[in-house]
């Protein structure tokens, strides 16, 4: 794939379509018809994040939106939905990214869920 923007787009699309799975380099490379080596080389050259950080960030940010708008779903269920094998590893990753636990994040009295709507 010559165009790295398309590679990043398609990688994002793949991750977002497989949020509940543990995503591997092999799958992402196959998704854009490249070898693992070639995919990783291009990704590394053009992305400011490592591939792992990129996957983790997309998943955690999507889970952050989801837990705000689905207040009756448990953190354990959310962890499974976003490809974590248990709530403890999800909470650890979440805290590392957002600086707070998923529960704290959910219960903050801000208007983040309302501002899902604040598009432009």
Partner 1 sequence: MEKPIVTIENADIRIIYIRFRGTYQEFRKNSRKLFQQLFDFAESNNLIIPDFTKVLTIYHDNPFITNEKQLRTSVAMTVPPIIPIEESGDICITEISGKFGVGHFEITAGEYGAAWNYMYEEWLFPGEQKPRDAVPFELYVTEPPKNFKSKSFTDIYIPIE
Cβ of residue 41: shortest distance to partner 1, in angstroms? 20
Taking residues 58 to 97 in sequence order and writing x for each that binds partner 1 by CB under 8 A, - otherwise, the string is: ---xx-xxx--xx----------x----------------
- Distance in angstroms (rounded) separating the CA atoms of residues 41 and 52: 14
What is the CB neighbour count within 10 angstroms for residue 62? 15
Phi, psi of 111 (to 5 degrees): -115, 40
Which one, 10 or 40, has the nearer CB to partner 1? 10
CB 94 within 8 A of CB 76: no
Q: Which residues bind partner 1 (CB under 8 A)?
A: 3, 5-6, 9-10, 12-13, 16, 19, 61-62, 64-66, 69-70, 81, 110, 112-120
């Amino acid at each position: 794939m010559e165009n790295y923007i398309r590679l990043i787009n398609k990688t994002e699309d793949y991750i977002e379509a497989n949020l509940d799975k543990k995503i591997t380099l092999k799958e992402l490379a196959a998704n854009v018809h490249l070898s693992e080596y070639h995919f990783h080389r291009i990704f590394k050259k053009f992305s400011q994040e490592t591939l792992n950080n990129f996957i983790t960030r997309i998943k955690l940010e999507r889970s952050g939106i989801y837990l705000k708008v689905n207040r009756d779903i448990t953190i354990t269920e959310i962890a499974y939905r976003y490809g974590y094998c248990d709530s403890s590893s999800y909470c650890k990753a979440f805290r590392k990214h957002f600086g707070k636990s998923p529960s704290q994040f959910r219960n903050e009295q801000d208007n983040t869920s309302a501002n899902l709507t604040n598009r432009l």
